[in-house]
Amino acid sequence: MKALGITRAIAALIACATSLAGAFIAQAQPSERPAVAESGRTRTSFNADWHFRLGKADGAEAPAFDDSGWEHVGLPHSFSMPYFRAPAFYTGDGWYRKSFTLPALPRNRRLSLEFEGAFQDARLYVNGVEVGRHRGGYTGFPVDITQAVRPGQNLVAVRVNNDWSATLAPRAGEHVFSGGLYRDVWLVTSDAVHVPWTGTRVTTPDLSAASGKVAVETEIRNDGSAPAIDRGIAERGS
């Protein structure tokens, strides 16, 4: 019994230290001012300096919404931080909001947010406009925000819901399905002509003890208004 009491005391201390460390890290982060490269693909961590509220928050997608009373957190983050602090877990809505400042986007540059995991139904808003939705807690997803951002101050809001759904796997199991933005989030800049986040597929169609073949397929996407020409194909065809 004494050993069990010590174990519980240690767990409580770890929980307290985790909460304090997370709050300190989140509060120590300055306001986001991500740089936008002139060319190529760049990826910047978007994990710091979020505001979070557990429960419904009507109108929280609007930039003018007052979130000064919300919890200050960093990502990754869960609705249940940490699991062992409560005998049950919350189901429903949770809101995340983050302000960030941008320069003017160079011509033919695209801006997107890459979420590595959001459990399990996420709606994303930028400056009050819904720009994307993703259903499924174990798959990452990108959202193009180019048309919604502006030079200067911007606001991203994410409503995450972890209610049970018959249309989303897993539908059952001995596991706590806690909601939240529980993996990293990235701000990505790229050219209008680019390879999308999930645009590369590698397979091994022929394998043996002596040799093997590797097949690589790559999707190239043009999100710009002007057609793109493959210079290699043009030169071979001339």
Q: Mark whether 147 and 205 lie in a shared domain.
A: no
Q: Mark whether 178 and 222 lie in a shared domain.
A: no
Q: Mark whether 162 and 67 lie in a shared domain.
A: yes
Integer Cα distance of 170 and 147 in angstroms: 34
Q: What is the pLDDT of residue 138?
A: 92
Q: Mark whether 6 and 100 lie in a shared domain.
A: yes
Q: What is the pLDDT of residue 45?
A: 97
3-state DSSP of the chain: CHHHHHHHHHHHHHHHHHHHHHHHHHHHCCCECCCCCCCCCEEEECCCCEEEEECCCCCCCCCCCCCCCCEEECCCCCCCCCHHHCCCCCCCEEEEEEEEEECCCCCCEEEEEEECCCECEEEEEECCEEEEEEECCCCCEEEECCCCCCCEEEEEEEEEECCCCCCCCCCCCCCCCCCECCCCEEEEEEECEECCCCCEEEEEEEECCCCEEEEEEECCEECCCCCCCCHHHHHHHC
CATH number at 159 reads 2.60.120.260
Range ranked top by mean pLDDT from 2-6, 97-101, 191-195 = 97-101
Q: Mark whether 114 and 214 lie in a shared domain.
A: no
Q: Mark whether 77 and 23 lie in a shared domain.
A: yes
Q: Mark whether 104 and 208 lie in a shared domain.
A: no
Q: Which of 52, 188, 32 is nearest to 109 (CA)?
A: 188
Q: Mark whether 99 and 137 lie in a shared domain.
A: yes
Torsion angle of C-alpha atoms 66, 68, 71, 74, degrees rounded to 10: 90
Domain of residue 108: give its range.
Answer: 2-191
Q: What is the pLDDT of residue 15?
A: 38
DSSP lists the bridge partners of residue 20 as none
Please, are residues 180 and 79 in contact by the beta-carbon 8 Å criterion? yes
Q: Mark whether 172 and 117 lie in a shared domain.
A: yes
Kindly report the average pLDDT of the chain as a whole number.
Answer: 84
Q: Mark whether 132 and 150 lie in a shared domain.
A: yes
Q: Mark whether 108 and 226 lie in a shared domain.
A: no
Which among 174, 191, 208 is the end of a domain? 191
The predicted-structure confidence for 19-75, as pLDDT tens digits, reads as follows: 444 444 444 344 578 878 888 899 999 999 999 999 999 999 999 999 999 999 999
Q: What is the pLDDT of residue 219?
A: 93
- How many domains does the chain contain in total? 2
Please, are residues 52 and 77 in contact by the beta-carbon 8 Å criterion? yes
Residue with the bigger pLDDT between 83 and 68: it is 68
Q: Mark whether 148 and 218 lie in a shared domain.
A: no
Percent of the chain with pLDDT over 70: 80
